[in-house]
Structure 1
Amino acid sequence: MSHRQIDIDALNDDRYVDEFEALTTKTAEEVEAQVQTKAGSVRTALSRGNSEEALHIALSDPPYGKQFHGAQKLNGQVVMDVLNSVKSSDISSIIKTLSPQEIDTLAKYIYHGLAHPATYNCGVLLSWHEKVIEVGGLGTIVRVLSDNKVIRAQ
């Protein structure tokens, strides 16, 4: 008789099935096309000088899942373009317009960017991180670090 109550062999990474990925019915090409459309909308908003709208669009419906690597990379670059285009004095006012879910998604992109310092401007990301934590609180950090929906855009 085994002393274990859980079959730990079932938790092997090779046998793991992500519930979120299993529910996804879109193909990688469809998701990538959707992100490219989003990128065009973000560029339009940025060209009009509306960074707040651009950030809302960029953070809406982020692609999650291993099969959407190309879409995640493109969406990550779109979010980083918005973050880099915002003046540091406007960061707080823009973050205050975000929903809690958008704040958590933004924090995921910030952490992703900080993990790749050769690609992204960490000074800008740290400024955003400071303001995100002021508005979202420490719960944002805990939710992002414990969430299994991660950004794999690199």
Structure 2
Amino acid sequence: MDVNFRKIDIDQYDEDVLQEEELYEADPRDPAQVLNDAKAKVGAVRNALSKGDTVGAINLVLDGTPVGPNVEEAKNLNLQTLTSILNSTKASEIPAIVRSLSQDAQDTLMKYLYKGMALPGWGEVSGSVLLGWHEKLTEVAGTGCIVRAMTDRRTV
């Protein structure tokens, strides 16, 4: 039985097929610049956390998140920075922090929570931390936040 027909990419012959680049605008910055910006955020986040400004640190990470192709290293660095903030935050502070975020920042945070949950073994963060943040974020932002995070093509 010949199964080679299953390995043919038929979309290459279709002129009307949507490419990922056509679905959203990629980051206009050079991938090296995006990585440098992500590295600069790490220092600024540490500085904010040392001052006890958790909201400011989260806003720094969620503002200008890298999206699009060719910026995977910057995306991973941003995720690591955010997970360090999530791990160091007390559970009693989470609702106030989530309320202080804008709707776009809440949606981006939800994307990062799902990305953290998709990691094998959940990476450096424990499941209870991610699920705790998810619960509080859903209570404040509603289920619309989940829908927007799941349907947005701009992955973090």
Q: TM-score, normalised by structure 1?
A: 0.85
Extract structure 1 runs of 4+ deviating beyond 6 A.
none
Q: CA deviation at 1:115?
A: 1.0
Q: CA deviation at 1:47?
A: 1.2
1: CA distance, partners of 2:85 / 2:49: 8
Is 1:91 equivalent to 2:94 in the alignment?
A: yes
2: CA distance, partners of 1:74 / 1:143: 23
Q: CA deviation at 1:12?
A: 4.8
Letter of the structure 1 residue corresponding to residue 138 of structure 2: I
Is 1:147 equivalent to 2:152 in the alignment?
A: yes
User: 1:40 maps to what in 2?
Assistant: 43
Q: Does the 8 Å CA contact 1:113/1:122 hold for their aligned counterparts?
A: no
Picking from 92, 107, 112, the partner of 1:109 is 112
User: 2:53 maps to what in 1?
Assistant: 50
Is 1:124 equivalent to 2:129 in the alignment?
A: yes
Is 1:75 equivalent to 2:78 in the alignment?
A: yes
CA RMSD of aligned residues (A): 1.7
Identity of aligned residues (%): 36
Question: What SS does the aligned partner of 2:25 have?
Answer: helix
Q: CA deviation at 1:136?
A: 0.7
Q: CA deviation at 1:25?
A: 3.0
Letter of the structure 2 residue corresponding to residue 115 of structure 1: A
User: 2:21 maps to what in 1?
Assistant: 17
Q: Specify every segment of 5 or more residues in structure 1 that has no aligned partner in the other structure, as ranges.
A: 1-7
1: CA distance, partners of 2:15 / 2:126: 41
Q: CA deviation at 1:10?
A: 3.6
Picking from 22, 29, 34, the partner of 2:32 is 29
Question: What SS does the aligned partner of 2:21 have?
Answer: coil
Aligned residue pairs total: 141
- Return closer, same or farther for 1:137/1:17 CA change in 2, 3 Å cut-off: same
Q: Does the 8 Å CA contact 1:51/1:85 hold for their aligned counterparts?
A: no
Q: TM-score, normalised by structure 2?
A: 0.84
- Return closer, same or farther for 1:130/1:33 CA change in 2, 3 Å cut-off: same
